[in-house]
């Protein structure tokens, strides 16, 4: 089946443009080989948009995203804009985009790639076949709660508010339960219900829903304990459900377990176009040096192919080719280890394109697509 899709590319700041270009080249090769049409347009967001238009999320950008079949983002932020107040920063552009597209689900799979076992900080028996999914609420919580600065008799106070409503919890929990049902039927909901009222509602709501999903084994964990358990014995988890803030923190921690945050993709779903982005930041110190690992971005593109366009075969093609490149010893700096060939990001991408060609031409030999 030949598809025609409109994809908005939002390269953003720092290494964002480099990794987005890499993923876009993979998508274009996919279109060529399988005769799909991926029409892409590039628009500014974050610091790049502030410099160009004065706003981190220009109307034109958000409007185009609403009309797209999918949105693909690199990263936002950097020292150049660090002095700006919260509402004016590059990050506000990303949060505005998430809110504007009604994206309340953020799915972050953390899975060990076989050839990269050696770069995990965990002992092999602890790493096991780590394969978890973090389901992070993305449109509420402290990121979007009431905030401000007040002056109390000459003393400055600043505040942010964590708040969740029952429907907000139910819609993200529905996604997490469904995900768990399709996997190993284990769901761990993370909160801080021993301290926070919003977490008590979170726990009560998630618990009440368990009758709808009798096949799923629900467990609750306080976030501090979850951080420890994730580090000590991560394979006990399957699907982890969390608030916006806790999910932000736990997903970086989980990424460390597989050796580099540069490896982890994400997909966000909601009421408008879905958004795909690697979970890493703009890494300003790496920008322009041709070292940024494109894997998180490329795997975000394969999530787009598989989960949103229904192109499982194409996604397998890219992912299997990628694993063979890694098996061949090619690495970017962040994932290199003794005995491997550390190459620039552009050389890594070049090798991946060659491998994709080879896989395509010798599909049968590789057991792909048959």
Distance (Å, whole) CA 12 – CA 124: 37
- Residue closest to ligand IPM, measured at CB: 91
Q: Read off φ and ψ for residue 337, nearest 5 degrees.
A: -150, 165
Q: Which of 224, 289, 341, 365 is catalytic?
A: 224
Of residues 12 and 234, the one with the C-beta less far from ligand IPM:
12
Written as one string, the DSSP assignment of 292-343 is ---HHHHHHHHHIIIIIT--HHHHHHHHHHHHHHHHTTEE-GGG--TTSEE-
Does the protein bind ligand IPM through residue 248 (CB under 6 A)? yes
The residue whose two tokens read 């892409």 is 40
Q: Which does 94 bind (CB under 5 to 8 A by kind): ligand IPM, Mg ion, none?
A: ligand IPM
x/- letters, 54..83, toward ligand IPM (CB under 6 A) = ----------------------xx------
Residues 6+ apart with CB under 8 A from 189: 173, 176, 202, 203, 206, 218, 219, 220, 221, 240, 241, 242
The answer to whether residue 91 forms part of the interface with ligand IPM (CB under 6 A) is yes
Number of residues this chain uses to bind ligand IPM (CB under 6 A): 7
Residue 164 designated active-site: no
Return d(Cα 34, Cα 28) in angstroms, integer.
10
Nearer to Mg ion, 106 or 359 (CB): 106
The verdict on 162 binding Mg ion (CB under 5 A) reads no
Contact between 137 and ligand IPM per CB under 6 A: no
User: What 8-state DSSP symbol labels residue 258?
Assistant: T
- H or E segment to which residue 48 belongs: helix 46-53
Please indicate whether residue 104 is annotated as part of the active site.
no
* 289 carries an active-site annotation: no
Check if the beta carbon of residue 200 is closer than 8 Å to that of residue 192: no
Question: Is-contact 56 88, C-beta < 8 A?
Answer: yes
Which residues ranging from 223 to 262 are in contact with Mg ion (CB under 5 A)?
248
* Distance of alpha carbon 280 from alpha carbon 254, whole angstroms: 12
Kindly identify the residues of this chain, within the stretch 94-113, that bind ligand IPM according to CB under 6 A. 94
Nearer residue to Mg ion within complex by CB, 248 or 334 = 248
Among ligand IPM, Mg ion, none, residue 77 binds (CB under 5-8 Å by kind)? ligand IPM
C-beta of 57 vs 76, nearer to ligand IPM: 76
Given 177, 191, 192, 334, the catalytic residue: 192
191 is catalytic: no
Nearer to Mg ion (CB atom), residue 276 or residue 348:
276
Q: Which of 143, 177, 213, 330 is catalytic?
A: 143
Q: DSSP state, 183?
A: T
30: Cα within 13 Å, side-chain hemisphere: 29
Active-site position among 5, 248, 330, 334? 248
Residue 365: Cβ within 10 Å count:
10
Nearer to ligand IPM, 115 or 141 (CB): 141
Interface with ligand IPM includes 334 (CB under 6 A)? no
Active site residue 316: no
Alpha-carbon distance of 123 to 198, in angstroms, equals 37
We find the least distance from the C-beta atom of residue 268 to Mg ion, in angstroms, to be: 13
Question: Do residues 43 and 64 touch, judged by C-beta distance below 8 A?
Answer: yes
The catalytic site residues sit at: 143, 192, 224, 248, 252
Residues found near ligand IPM in the complex (CB under 6 A): 76-77, 91, 94, 248, 279, 281
């Amino acid at each position: 089946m030949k598809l025609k899709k409109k994809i908005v590319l939002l390269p953003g700041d720092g290494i964002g443009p480099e990794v987005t270009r890499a993923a876009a080249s993979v998508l274009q090769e996919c279109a060529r080989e399988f005769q799909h049409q991926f029409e892409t347009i590039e628009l500014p967001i974050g610091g790049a948009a502030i410099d160009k238009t004065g706003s981190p999320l220009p109307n034109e950008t958000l409007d185009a995203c609403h009309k797209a079949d999918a949105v693909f983002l690199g990263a936002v932020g950097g020292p150049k804009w660090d002095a700006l107040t919260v509402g004016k920063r590059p990050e506000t552009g990303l949060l505005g985009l998430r809110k504007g597209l009604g994206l309340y689900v953020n799915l972050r799979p953390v899975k060990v790639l076989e050839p990269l076992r050696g770069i995990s900080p965990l002992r092999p028996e602890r790493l096991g076949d780590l394969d978890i999914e973090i389901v992070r609420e993305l449109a509420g919580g402290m990121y979007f709660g009431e905030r401000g600065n007040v002056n109390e008799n000459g003393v400055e106070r600043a505040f942010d508010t964590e708040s969740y409503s029952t429907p907000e919890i139910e819609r993200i929990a529905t996604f997490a339960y469904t995900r768990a049902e399709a996997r190993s039927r284990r769901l761990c909901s993370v909160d801080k219900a021993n301290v926070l009222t919003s977490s008590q509602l979170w726990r009560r709501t998630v618990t009440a829903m368990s009758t709808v999903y009798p096949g799923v084994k629900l467990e609750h964990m306080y976030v501090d304990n979850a951080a420890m358990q994730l580090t000590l014995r991560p394979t006990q988890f399957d699907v982890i459900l969390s608030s916006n803030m806790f999910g932000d923190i736990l997903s970086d921690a989980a990424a460390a377990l597989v050796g580099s945050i540069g490896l982890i993709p994400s997909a966000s779903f909601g009421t408008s176009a879905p958004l795909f982005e690697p979970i890493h930041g703009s890494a300003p110190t790496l920008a322009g040096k041709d070292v940024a690992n494109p894997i998180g971005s490329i795997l975000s593109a394969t999530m787009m192919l598989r989960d949103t366009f229904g192109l499982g075969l194409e996604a397998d093609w890219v992912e299997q080719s990628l694993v063979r490149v890694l098996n061949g010893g090619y690495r970017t700096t962040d994932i290199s280890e003794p005995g491997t060939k550390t190459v620039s990001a552009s050389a890594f991408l070049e090798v991946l394109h060659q491998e994709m060609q080879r896989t395509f031409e010798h599909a049968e030999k590789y057991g792909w697509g048959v």
